[in-house]
Amino acid sequence: MRVEPSQLVPGCVLLKNVTGKSNKPIIPQHTVLTEEHITLLEKFLVETVDVSAKLEDGQVFKPKFVHKEEIKKKEQSNKKQYAELFEDHYRNAVSNYKKLFNKWQNNLAVDMPEVRNILIPLFERMDDISTAVYTLHHYADKKDYIFHHSIAVGILSAYLARKMGFEKGEWLQIGLAGSLSDSGMARLDSTIVTKTGSLTFSDYQEIKKHPTYSYRYIEKIPTITKEVKLAVLQHHERMDGSGYPIGLSKENIHIYARIIAVCDIYHAMTCERLYKEKQSPFNVIEKLQRDQFTKLDHQVVQSFINSLANFSIGTRVRLSTNQLGEIVFVEERYPTRPMVRVEESNEIVTLKNESSLFISEIIGN
């Protein structure tokens, strides 16, 4: 019989493997379930499982009755705990990346085994990442922005590459390239990196050297692929030739670099930096849309928008007016501007017709 994890009791016998989102078995068939197994199923947000009609001791299995509201509260608690576990892992990666960056500032070489140990386990949590993409910018702070940015761009690049259909070996490489793309900032004068006021023309000219410095750091490391090295060098190039450091255009820019470019812009603009205010993720997505036929790769931008603005009916959001609402309809051509029912007034607002109004934050389902 098929039941929800909340209805299980110790002694239930699994009839089929329980698999996670990665299709790897969490618990194999024929397992006699314990309290620990049942808790694990709930933590992994498994919806239903197939169990025998009889318990291991031969007694008839009577599924527990659990009130739907109680199940919903438990699921929300599990999701929150899962997100917290991911956030802890993320923050630990940022802390370790900061230590690496300090070594690079002291002219030490890039230690790729150490870089991989920090980043690969985080990237492999792709199912967690898919629930955190809306909130990565919330984790960042002004003081340590550059370290948060490097980790977040790696995460977003790996996430987007996976959504675009790259095999695991490649999307992990793209994630590594994303996180290493700003490593060359360690070569810049620290007063520029930590400057709190507006950047001068001279400051920008110095900052524009960082892709070349990043490339130099990894150029001779044999364990890094040529594609990753090109992505690091080219991540600020633009399709219309307006980028830097070389001014490449169109197909001369490697696809890895085009992916990182979109993720880099998105995270930078959604974060509060020392010299710039943050913007709403959905405002930023609309700006990416405007640049998708000039500066950025159209297909990459579309994949990014489809991944991030894939709202479902019933999603709760906060509007730029600070009002709370619920999405009631999403038009395919306007993924960031759905129809929203405002909670306070019950009014239906069509965001595509309200240019000054936008979604500022996703609250949840």
Q: Per mean pLDDT, which of 199-213, 268-282, 318-332 is the most reliable?
A: 199-213
What secondary structure letter does DSSP report for 48? -
Look up the CATH superfamily of 1-66: Molybdopterin biosynthesis moea protein, domain 2 (3.90.105.10)
Lowest-confidence region among 40-49, 208-217, 223-232, 320-329: 40-49
> Which class for 130: exposed (0-12), middle (13-18), buried (19 or more C-beta within 10 A)?
middle
Lowest-confidence region among 22-26, 85-89, 159-163, 206-210: 22-26
Vertex 185 angle, CA 85 and 163, to 5°: 45
Using pLDDT thresholds of 50, 70 and 90, give the confidence band for residue 312: low
Dist CA 299 CA 292 (whole Å): 8
- For 229, list phi and psi in degrees, rounded to 5: -60, -40
Fold of 71-308: Hypothetical protein af1432 (1.10.3210)
Using pLDDT thresholds of 50, 70 and 90, give the confidence band for residue 219: very high
Q: pTM of the full predicted structure?
A: 0.73
Question: Between residues 226 and 76, which one has the greater pLDDT?
Answer: 226
Average pLDDT, the chain: 86
- What are the sequence ranges of the domains in the chain? 1-66, 71-308, 316-364
CA distances from residue 344 to 95, 319, 324, 361 in whole angstroms, order as listed: 42, 12, 8, 17
Express each pLDDT in 252-299 by its tens digit: 999 999 999 999 999 988 887 655 667 777 778 888 888 888 999 999
